[in-house]
Amino acid sequence: MLRHVAKYRPQTPSVSIDLPMTLSPQTLSEDDRRLVAGWAAACAERVLPLFESERPDDGRPRAAIDRARAYSEGRLDTATAPQAETTLLPAIAAPGLVLDLAAVRYVSSAGLRLLLKLAKEAKGKGAKFALAGLQPGTVVVDCSTAIPASTESVARAVAAAGGRFLDAPMTRTPKEAAEGRLNLLVGGDAALLAECLPLLQCFAENVTHTGAVGSGHRMKLLHNYVSLGSVALIAEAAACAQAGGVAPQVFVDVLAKGGGGGVALERLRPYLLQHDASSLRFFMSNALKDLGYYTTMAQDSAAARGIAQAVRDTFAHAVTEGGPEKLVPELVDILVKNPL
């Protein structure tokens, strides 16, 4: 039995209403308070340029407007997540906490990070953590990386609450993310994907329907295994080449003109030749996580995973020897200094 329910609503800004018949904010309905907050934010936003022209270094009015707008729209996002964290973290204790999100209409990546942090905090305290209040008709688009079995479980829970679900993990790098040119691998109902496509195309260049729910996450793990496995293979070969006195330029040129050419080599090329890791800004810890997910998925499917386990062990070694925040191209130097 969970201990209690916390109802989360983005923090209501202080509002004073002077009408012929004065109403306190407490007598207004939730929808009316949201309406008033949105109206106040819109009014303040009109004069904000005048204030900022006089006080360009004072960000308080803009932050207050952002919080009011987030409340009016029922958002758990960058503006409201810090206050939510301050309120909710102390509430987590055994046996557990149910967080009622009935008043929340939108959760951004900042809100999702907070929910994951709360879940991690609960696990560390031996408590359970659950979400409630999903509104019927809500569409949940999961852009994370996850084990397909857990994805299918979440999708069933969403469907039971009257919602609809797509798993839509992303590939490519932060560069393409900033340019709105990600790849999305989408699992779920084709008609729902068509309905959501205009939104997804705001940040994705290529959207591929991979099949039923869970297939998007399955394909993401397959993709990352092949990508990271190829990088690990080249990194180990580069470390061996360096130990044997082969010049980096010769190593790269020969691979590029033969069977070693491809995306993995091109992403490693700047590091191999100039020690520039910026072309593959992916942390070792994330690589290890994804490979752990892949080996779990392969085990669940009774599939071969011997090579995958070796690649995972290589990245585990890199995290131990170099640290979790080293970038993946730095695997080359880690293997030079600390051969596995």
| pLDDT for res 222 | 98
| Burial tier of 26 (Cβ tally within 10 Å: 0-12, 13-18, 19+) | exposed
Q: What is the pLDDT of residues 304-320, one digit of tens each?
A: 999 999 999 999 999 99
Cα–Cα distance, 126 to 254 (Å, whole number): 54
Task: Give residue 13's pLDDT.
Answer: 38
Among 83, 106, 133, where does a domain finish? 133
| Residue 16 sits in the same domain as residue 121 | yes
- Over residues 168-210, the pLDDT tens digits come to 999 988 889 889 999 999 999 999 999 999 999 999 999 999 9
Last residue of a domain, one of 162, 197, 213: 213
Judge whether 186 and 217 are in contact, CB under 8 Å.
no
Structure confidence at residue 192 (pLDDT): 97
Shared-domain flag, residues 128 and 140: no
At residue 54 the predicted structure's pLDDT band, cuts being 50, 70 and 90, is confident
**Contact criterion met (CB below 8 Å) for 142 and 196:** no
**Which pLDDT score, from 0 to 100, does residue 11 have?**
47
Number of neighbours of residue 198 by Cβ within 10 angstroms: 8
Q: Is 334 helix (H, G, I), strand (E, B) or coil?
A: helix
109 & 26 share domain? yes
Claim to verify: residue 1 and residue 42 sit in the same structural domain = yes
Do the Cβ atoms of 85 and 111 come closer than 8 Å? no
116 SS3 class: helix
- Read off the pLDDT of residues 158-176 as tens digits, 9 standing for 90 and up: 898 899 999 999 998 888 9
Q: Do 165 and 273 have their domain in common? A: no
Is 236 a residue whose pLDDT tops 60? yes
Query: Given this model, what pLDDT does residue 264 score?
Result: 96
- Say whether both 179 and 253 belong to one domain: no
Mean pLDDT along residues 274-300: 95
Last residue of a domain, one of 133, 155, 183: 133
What is the spatial distance between Cα 258 and Cα 256, in angstroms, rounded to a whole number? 6
d(CA 219, CA 221): 5
Indicate which CATH number applies to the domain containing 1: 3.30.750
pLDDT tops 90 at residue 6:
no
Query: In what helix (H) or strand (E) does residue 328 lie, and over which residues does it extend?
Result: none
Mean pLDDT across 245-254: 98
Q: Which of 15-19, 184-188, 328-332 has the lowest mean pLDDT?
A: 15-19
Pair 247, 297 in one domain: yes
> How many domains, in total, are found in the chain?
3
Percentage with pLDDT > 90 across the chain: 53
| CATH number, domain with residue 318 | 1.10.1040.10
The residue among 134 and 278 whose pLDDT is bigger is 278
State the Cα–Cα distance between residues 18 and 20, nearest whole angstrom.
7
CATH number of the domain encompassing residue 208: 3.40.50.720
- Domain with 115, as residue range(s), is 1-133
For residue 216, pLDDT beyond 80: yes
**Phi, psi angles (nearest 5°) of residue 115:** -60, -40
- Each residue of 110-137: pLDDT tens digit? 887 888 888 888 888 998 888 888 888 8
- pLDDT at position 180: 92
- The pLDDT tens digits for 251-267 are 999 999 999 999 999 99
Structure tokens that stand for 105 in this block: 């209409």
* Alpha-helix runs per DSSP H in the chain: 30-54, 60-72, 81-88, 109-124, 148-160, 174-178, 190-200, 215-243, 248-256, 263-274, 284-300, 306-322, 331-337
pLDDT value at residue 30: 63
Token reading at 107: 């959760």
Verify that 129 and 181 share a domain, yes or no. Answer: no
Integer Cα distance of 171 and 143 in angstroms: 10
The pTM assigned to this predicted structure is 0.73
Residue closest to 131 by CA, chosen among 166, 167, 168, 88 = 88
| Amino acid identity for residue 117 in this structure | K
- 230 and 319 inside one domain: yes
Which pLDDT tens digit goes with each residue over 71-104? Answer: 676 788 887 888 889 888 888 887 888 888 877 8
Lowest-pLDDT range of 104-118, 275-289, 318-332? 104-118
Domain co-membership, 222 together with 285: yes
pLDDT of residue 28 exceeding 80, the answer is: no
Pairing mode of beta strands 182-187, 170-171 = antiparallel
Are residues 320 and 258 located together in one domain of the fold?
yes
pLDDT confidence of residue 63: 80
As beta bridge partners, residue 131 has 99
Q: Do residue 179 and residue 143 come from a single domain? A: yes
